[in-house]
Chains A and B, each alone.
Chain A
């Protein structure tokens, strides 16, 4: 078989050849190399802290991919994904601590239960559109936050839950490296599934609902059902990510699952690129790294002699965070996915400019 790394034309001979995710053999080979690097090189080269950051990147990327299916593809903005992330985290934690359910079933239960919660909060989408629906998802966020804090018999309230050690098929998951494998295997699988969903009739229906819901209905798409499917898939991703996160950090409290986290998820998909699966990964990477860099930087500055006593430097983090989002909206509204496309195509054409 001859490889077609950079075909200078369309050599396809059947419609089946148009189905693969990667258009060229170059794309296939480089992603294969990427996967090999990811699983066989990175865990051994990187230190514990770097792996910790990478694990967070992958967890947030799973949630961001989910949100992108709902917001970027189906066009329904959700301000509740921070709480959905929390629902998954709490379900998994409660199952593991109270009922001693093993690791794998717990995280899947986290995803499924969040999908059900997402379905409930998706019901208003039958009547509400745009801003009104957004506000109803905000209500969902606040209701769930309230439950996390006040249903103490179930969630242990503000004191939180300490999770037991996770094991998978008899292996202890304690180090960042062992978790790295679990998280990234799920990351790759869920990325692939999301890609499959958006390239079949489901994805087409989602995009049609986003672009023109009236016409979508005229073309035989039961739009309410598809909005609910989108809500369910999206919250499954968020809940699964939340469950992974809870088992990884091994202790949870209501604190992280606030409205602020919802906004961070939205920032991820805007910066990454709405309606792009790879974009969500870029966005999650960018925001997580930015967060890490900012808190490290601020921590460093606060310890300097000149700044001691100036507590006011802490909000600086939020300021830079907001600034970055605004700059992205102005200079590259299509997000990092578009930047990536431009970079790729200019490499392809190099040394010519077009």
Chain B
């Protein structure tokens, strides 16, 4: 169904070739001191797919995301994104190659408005240098207006118009998660990584969020990785689910398969007596 509301132009005219995202992880191992956070992990993310990663606390889900986005430096293995090994790149270089993310414990900029937070993420696409910027030349003004328009489209799409000038620090938790999603979308990521975007939300907020995520994935073919504890959400939204436990991948498959996978049941409920 076509909804009559904001459709970000950066997504709307869907240029599939430009938004191609293929991630291949091979033998990734991450060790903190004596703790093996990730043990020889292999993972494939296909273009246009909605992949969920689940697992008990401490299973290594966030460690995996942080390794992909460059915040952690894994000791072994390869992370191939669109044919390039991105392991060991700094986070901002990973972002530049088209991987955008949200954080587990909301990492917004509390002193900035919703608008400014999302605007910041357009940084990669602001093509100007310091000298003309310091004189605020007409070309700069044009560029600023162009990005403002894109930011407004994202605000429109996520239905945040009434709060665009509010400081993020003053917003309720569930809305902040939505601002964070907006900020990640403003990066125009080829691969969108969401770290527990549903945590601490009310039921209504979860339903809204599911609606947004489905739309960006189904209509605009946004390749997405979701890490989430809410099983109801994960089961209903994912095309494929990967289950982690103690730093290892224990199962992989579509929701129906995962639901009845013996290893998964063991990891979550313990062994049968």
Contact = CB atoms under 8 A, between A and B. Distances in A.
Interface of A: 14-16, 18-19, 193, 196-197, 199-202, 204-205, 207-208, 210-212, 214-223, 229, 275
A223 B95 CA distance: 13
B111 A201 contact: no
Contacts of B123: 201, 204-205, 219-221
Contacts of A193: 134-135
A218 B119 contact: no
> B95, B128, B134, B183 — which one has the most chain A CB atoms within 10 A of its CB?
B134
Contact of A218 (B69, B126, B135): B69
B109 interface: yes
Interface in B218-243: none
A215 B101 CA distance: 10
Main secondary structure, interface of A, reads helix
B134 A217 contact: no
A217 B112 contact: no
A103 B139 CA distance: 33
Contact of A214 (B71, B136, B140, B148): B71
Given A200-B144, A218-B69, A212 B95 contact: no
B92 A207 contact: no
Given A19-B141, A215-B103, A219-B123, A201 B133 contact: yes
A219 B187 contact: yes
Contacts of B119: 204
B134 A220 contact: no
B95 A218 contact: yes
B109 A196 contact: no
Contacts of A197: 130, 133-134
B124 interface: yes
Contact of B141 (A16, A202, A208, A229): A16
B55 to A, nearest CB: 22
29 contacts: A15-B148, A16-B141, A19-B141, A19-B145, A196-B133, A197-B130, A200-B128, A200-B140, A201-B122, A202-B133, A204-B112, A204-B119, A204-B120, A207-B116, A207-B120, A211-B111, A211-B112, A212-B108, A214-B107, A215-B108, A215-B109, A216-B109, A218-B101, A218-B103, A220-B95, A220-B96, A220-B123, A220-B187, A275-B111
Given A19-B144, A205-B120, A223-B92, A212 B134 contact: no
> B103, B109, B126 — which one has the most chain A CB atoms within 10 A of its CB?
B109
B166 interface: no
A220 B107 contact: no
Contact of B92 (A199, A202, A221, A275): A221
A218 B91 contact: yes
Contacts, number: 100
B109 A211 contact: yes
A200 B133 CA distance: 7
A177 B168 CA distance: 48
Interface in B182-213: 183, 187
Nearest to A18: B148
Given A219-B120, A219-B121, A219-B183, A202 B109 contact: no
B152 interface: yes
Contacts of A229: 130
Contacts of A222: 90, 92
A324 to B, nearest CB: 26
A197 B136 CA distance: 8
A19 B136 CA distance: 10
A223 B93 CA distance: 11
B110 interface: yes
A284 B145 CA distance: 34
Given A19-B145, A211-B109, A212-B108, A217 B90 contact: yes
A201 B144 CA distance: 9
A19 to B, nearest CB: 6
Interface string B7-35: 00000000000000000000000000000
Contacts of B183: 219
Interface in B144-169: 144-145, 148-149, 152
Contact of A210 (B111, B136, B145): B111
Given A200-B136, A218-B95, 18 more contacts: A15-B148, A196-B133, A197-B134, A201-B126, A202-B130, A207-B109, A208-B109, A210-B111, A211-B109, A214-B107, A216-B109, A218-B107, A219-B95, A219-B120, A220-B187, A221-B120, A221-B123, A229-B130
Given A15-B152, A19-B144, A204-B119, A220 B133 contact: no
B135 A196 contact: yes
Contacts of B148: 15, 18
A239 to B, nearest CB: 16
Nearest to B183: A219
Contacts of A218: 69, 71, 91-92, 95, 101, 103, 107
Nearest to B151: A15
B133 A212 contact: no
A15 B120 contact: no
A1 to B, nearest CB: 19
A35 B69 CA distance: 50
Contact of A196 (B124, B126, B136, B145): B136
B122 to A, nearest CB: 8
Given A197-B133, A218-B101, A223-B92, A16 B111 contact: no
Contacts of A16: 141, 145
Contacts of B91: 214, 217-218
